[in-house]
Amino acid sequence: MRDHGGRRAAAGRGRPALLAAALALALTLLASCSSGPPDDPAPPAELGWGFTHTQHSADAGEDRAVRRARTTLEDTGLPQVQHLMGWGSANPEPRPGTYDFAAMDRRIALAEETGATPVITLCCAPDWMKGGREGRTDWSAKSLERAPDPEHFADFAKLAATTARRYPQVRHYLVWNEFKGFWNEAEGRWDHEGYTELYNQVRRALKEVDPDLRVGGPYLVMDSFPPGRTEGASREVRGDWGALDRRTVDAFRYWNRHKDGADFVVVDGSSYTTDGELVPDAFAATAKFTDVGRWVREETGGLPLWWAEYYVEPGDADDQRAGWPEPRRRAVHAAGLAALARGGATTAFYWNPERTTTPCPGCLWRPTHLPDGGTPLPMLDLLARFQREFGPGTRFTAVPGDTSPGLTVLADDRAALVVNHRATARTVRVDGTRLRLEAFEVRWVERG
C-alpha cells in the first residue's frame, strides 16, 4: 500500500520523484528476491493424538505388508514420534563428529511419506558421552537409559542441533525421556537439577538452529501411590485413584521454575499405581489423567500439555499384557483418551508395542513381518477417529443423558464418544437418543 500511495504522490510531483519511487520499488523487489522465500509460519504447539514408533514399525518387513501399512497410515492423520537413539534408531554419533542417521532417516521418511507430522524425542546418548568407549554401543537397558555425564551435556546439545539441521522438516522436539539416568541415589530423589541443566542447554542449541522450533520437557513420569498411603505421597495432587509421588511433584516444580523457556510441557504416566493397582477400577482410574493434567496446566500457566506416553493396562509398558480381551482394552483406552482431553491435553502419543509376530495385543497394525500384515487393528481405528473428531482446537460440550455409573461420554458440537464400561450389554440414553451398547462397546454418535 505504501508503494501505491508513493506512486500517486509522485504523479503530482513530476518525473524525478517518479524515477526515485521506481528505483526504491526495484531495490525492494531485488532485496526480497535475494533473501529467498518468506519464513515458514511458526509450527503449532498442539498436534493432537498420535503414536510413538518402537523397535519394529512399518519401515521393515514383507514388501507387500510394508506398503499396506503405509497406505493404512496415510488415512489416519496421526503425528508420529521417533527417538534419536534406540527404539528403532541406531547410535547417531558412535564417535565424536562421526554420524550414523541411516535408521533415523528411514523413520522420518516414513512419517513424511504417510503425511504425518514427525516429532523427535532427543534420547538417548551415545556411549562416549556417558563413560563408554568411542565406536562401541551397549544396547542393554542399563546402558541405554544412562544420562550423558554433565561434562558431555554440551556435546549432547550439539548433537541435538546437528539433528535439527539434518531434519528441517521436524519442528517439534521432546528433551530426553522419563528422566532416564537422572536419579540422585544419595538423596533418594530425582536429579532434577541435572535434567534441567541438560534441558536448558539442548533448548538453547535448538533455538540457535531455528528460533521457531518447538521444544518441550520435562517428560517426567507421573508416578502415583494408592489411596491411604501417606509416606512420600503428595498432598496437592490426589484423587480416588491415589496421590502423586511427592518426589515427582518436587522434580516437576524445580524444572518449571528453572527452565529456560518451553513451548509446551510434556509428561507421561499410567492410570495405575507404582504397584500396578487400578483404583477404584480400570475405568475410574483414568481420572488420574484429568487431575494431573489440570494440575500441570495450572503450574505452568496454561502451557500446551503433551502426554508423551500414557498407559491404562498394567504390564503394557514393558510389552507384557495383562490378558485383557481386545474389546476391554479398546474401551479402557477410549476412556483414558477422554480423561486426557478433559485434563487439558491437546497432544498425546500412544506407545505402539509393534512386534514381528502375532498375537500382537494393543498393536496399531498387523505386524509387517507377516505376509498378510499391515492392516489396521482396533486401536488404530480408535486413535484415528479420536484425532479426526477431537483434534487441536476442539471445544468440548456437555451432553444431556444417562449419568449412571459405568459410562464415559465426551462430545463436541459434531460428535460424541460413548463408552460402555460394563462387561454386559446395556441400554442408555445419550443426547436424547436411546442407545443399545454391547459389552465394552465404543460408539461414535454424530451430532447436529
Q: Which of 132, 54, 5 is nearest to 362 (CA)?
A: 54
pLDDT band at 448 (very low <50, low <70, confident <90, very high): confident
Q: Per 3-state DSSP, what percentage of the chain is helix, strand, and coil (rounded to 5)?
A: 35, 20, 45
The arithmetic mean of pLDDT across residues 179-185, rounded, is 98
- Helices and strands in the chain, H and E counts: 11, 18
pLDDT (0 to 100) of residue 404: 78
Q: How far lies 123's CA from each of 81, 82, 178, 216, 418, in Å?
A: 12, 10, 10, 13, 37
In 3D space, the residue among 247, 267, 255 whose CA is nearest the CA of residue 340 turns out to be: 267
CA 331 vs CA 202, 204, 234, 417, 423: distances in Å: 39, 42, 30, 11, 10
Place of cell 541435572: 194
Mean pLDDT for the chain overall: 90
As a whole number of Å, the end-to-end CA separation of the chain is 44
How high is the pLDDT of residue 40?
67
> What pLDDT sits at residue 26?
41
Q: What is the mean pLDDT of residues 221-228?
A: 97
Residue in 361, 230, 235, 236 with CA at minimum distance from that of residue 298: 236
Cα–Cα distance between 263 and 23 in angstroms, integer? 43
CA distance 222 to 332: 19
Query: In which element (H, E) is residue 11 found?
Result: helix 2-13
Task: Check residue 7 and give its pLDDT.
Answer: 29
Residue 400, pLDDT score? 86
Confidence of residue 35 (pLDDT cuts 50, 70, 90): very low
The backbone torsions φ and ψ at residue 49, rounded to the nearest 5 degrees and listed phi first, read -115, 120
DSSP bridge pairs for 415: 446
pLDDT of 402 = 72
Between CA 75 and CA 232 the distance in angstroms is 46
CA within 13 Å, CB half, 159 = 31
Distance CA 263, CA 203 (A): 10
Tell me, rounded to whole angstroms, the distance of Cα 346 from its chain centroid.
Answer: 9
Q: φ, ψ for residue 413 (rounded to 5)?
A: -70, -20
Residue listed under C-alpha cell 496421590:
243
Nearest to 222 by CA among 284, 342, 305: 305
Confidence of residue 24 (pLDDT cuts 50, 70, 90): very low
Residue 235 has pLDDT above 70, yes or no: yes
pLDDT category, 416, cuts 50, 70, 90?
A: very high
> Is pLDDT above 80 for 308?
yes
**pLDDT tops 60 at residue 134:** yes
What pLDDT, on a 0 to 100 scale, did the predictor assign at position 250?
A: 98
pLDDT tier at 28 (50, 70, 90 boundaries)? Answer: very low
Q: What are phi and psi of 227, to 5 degrees?
A: -55, 145
SS (H, E, C) 139-188: CCHHHHCCCCCHHHHHHHHHHHHHHHHHCCCCCEEEECCCCCCCEECCCC
User: Which cell numbers in the block locate residue 171?
Assistant: 519442528
Q: Phi and psi (nearest 5°) for 202?
A: -65, -45
Q: What is the mean pLDDT of residues 337-360?
A: 96
Q: pLDDT tens digits, residue range 64-119?
A: 999 999 999 998 999 999 999 999 999 999 999 999 999 999 999 999 999 999 99
Please compute the mean of the pLDDT values over residues 414-435 and round it to a whole number: 95
Q: Residue 397's pLDDT is what?
A: 96
- Write down the pLDDT at residue 18: 37
Contact 347, 305 (CB under 8 A): yes
Please work out, in degrees rounded to the nearest 5, the angle formed at the alpha carbon of residue 177 by the alpha carbons of 48 and 304.
35
**Closest by alpha carbon to 268, among 320, 362, 215, 345?**
345
Q: Using an 8 Å Cβ cutoff, are 121 and 81 in contact?
A: yes
